[in-house]
Structure 1
Amino acid sequence: MAKILIVYTTSIGNTKKMAEAVADGARSVETAVTLKSSEEATIEDVRDCDALILGSPIRHRTADARIKKFIEDTLEQLWLTDEVVGKVGGVFSVGGGYGNMGAGCELAQLGMLSAMAACGMILVTLPKTTPGFEVAGMHWGPNGRSGDVVMKPVGVTEEMLEAGYHHGANIARVTQQLAGKDLMDKGNVAPPPEIVKMFTQG
């Protein structure tokens, strides 16, 4: 059975709700889903999964520092050793902010996706055909708008969670098809051991 790891961070619970919706969607396709906070998830969890989904609240137009730390502690090291080449990746976000433009959600999602792309992962984005896209669509992944245009907290709605659910299901279906297959050519050499040691020992 394909293994999907969902790693998220949350401050007031909205990103956790979206993470749970993504997990429910992935489970609907009969995959083994593990849901962990960024503080709990380890590099071994990433090594063991077939797909990684990252979720973050928006913090000053970018992903939360706790997700960035997870990326630096895991994906950066696995990039050096090419251990996640060919795994499936996806993202989601939650945030508010003044105005009606998403308050940096696209920048946050692209930042997370760029780390996955650098690692050679196969990225699953969010087609506009996805149920819930009209309220939570962000091309790259669902974004739950948890604050209104004047930053009044409104939480994530059922329609937003629906987009998360179907995003999880989409990623699960792709993962089922690709899990265990070695589709990527490999010919480049990994960095020398002393460079890997520098990154892995902090």
Structure 2
Amino acid sequence: MTKVLVLYYSSYGHLEQMADAVAEGARGAGAEVDIRRVAETAPAEVIAAAHFKTDTAHPVIESPDQLADYDAIIVGAPTRFGRMPAQMAAFWDTTGGLWAKGALIGKVGGAFTSTASQHGGQETTLFSIITNLLHHGLTIVGLDYGFQGQMKMDEIVGGSPYGATTMAAGDGSRQPHPEELEGARYQGRRIAALAAKLAA
């Protein structure tokens, strides 16, 4: 059975919801899916002052070496000034040993993100994640236009050909739109399906 890892970081729970949707889509394609988050690196006083969401059902990934156990790796992180946040970058900075061995070459990967606003750096953040995956030799699958929900013009929704996205609003009050969650499921299915074909 194809094994998929959904690896994410979420400050306020938006990316956690998207990760659950990505995983749901991958399971729908017949994959065995694990959801893990990267460790929080912000000081406790910052977490408290900013009211980060600290309760989650998903455990922290124990070691970067675990990445080698999966056929596909789907990475989600919010934007920080148009790029992935320090928490996710810090994790990928520990994967040099895997890179040196070529341990992730040939796996399938993808990215998803959240921004405060419609034009808050979604695509540059996705590229900052995808760049790491490409350096490791992963084949990237985005959110192709087979998912027509990202083409809506009657209301604002996330979505990009480079990956599923959502918008949280500056105060975090906007929750993922059903169309955005469906885009995440679609991308999860596509990645899991391709990984299964490559492993066959």
Task: Give TM class, smaller chain.
Answer: 0.7 to 0.9
- Matched residue of 2:79: which SS? strand
Asked if 1:125 is matched to 2:147, the reply is no
DSSP 3-state at the match of 2:91: helix
- Residue aligned with 1:63, SS: coil
Match status 1:79 vs 2:99: yes
2:188 aligned with 1:168: yes
CA shift, 1:47, in A, is 1.0
For 1:94, what is the secondary structure of its paired residue?
Answer: strand
Radius of gyration: which is bigger? 1
* Alpha-carbon distance in 2 for matches of 1:128, 1:68: 29
Deviation at 1:88, TM superposition (A): 0.6
The correspondence for 2:87, drawn from 66, 69, 86, is: 66
How well do the aligned residues superpose, as a CA RMSD in angstroms? 1.5
Q: How high is the sequence identity, in percent, across the aligned residues?
A: 29
The correspondence of residues 121-200 of structure 1 with structure 2, limited to 5 A, is 121-134=138-151, 135-147=157-169, 153-179=173-199
Give every structure 1 segment of 4 or more consecutive aligned residues whose post-TM-superposition deviation is greater than 6 Å: none
Q: Which runs of 5+ in 2 are unaligned?
A: 40-59, 152-156
- Does the 8 Å contact 1:8/1:15 carry over to 2? yes
Q: Normalization by structure 1: what TM-score?
A: 0.81
Q: Is 1:27 the equivalent of 2:49?
A: no
TM-score (structure 2 length as normaliser): 0.82
Aligned letter for 1:112?
A: I
CA distance in 2, matches of 1:167, 1:131: 12
Match of 2:57 in 1: none
In 2, the alpha carbon distance for the partners of 1:44 and 1:152 equals 33
Amino acid at match of 1:157: H
Q: Matches of 1:179 and 1:34 in 2, distance apart?
A: 18
